[in-house]
Amino acid sequence: MIRGLLFHLIPLLLPFVVYGIYLYFNKKLGGEKTWKGRSVAISTLIGLILMAVSLVTLGVLDGDPKDGVYVPPRFEDGKLIDSTVLPSGKD
């Protein structure tokens, strides 16, 4: 859960962190000192693109087997049995 959350939040927030670091060092050199609307919009757009890329990457590289028989979660003897994917038996 935490890994999935971080996998999507880090790419979204990364452009803001990079731009904040840029502003910090630019301020020390006497340059621009504030966030501007266009810069925030561009950072948001880049963050959304990076988040979409992370979603696609997670979907493509997910380690679950792609072939087999899905068995949904069920109750047996009063206990919840997790869902599983059984091998298809094609060998």
CB neighbourhood size of 51 (10 A): 18
Q: Report the DSSP beta bridge partners of residue 79.
A: 76
DSSP, collapsed to helix, strand or coil, labels residue 38 as helix
pLDDT, tens digit (0-9, with 9 covering 90-100), for 1-41: 677 777 778 888 888 888 888 888 888 888 777 777 788 88
Q: Is 52 in contact with 76 (CB distance < 8 Å)?
A: no
pLDDT band per the 50, 70, 90 thresholds, residue 81? very high
Cα 47 to Cα 75: distance, rounded to the nearest angstrom = 42
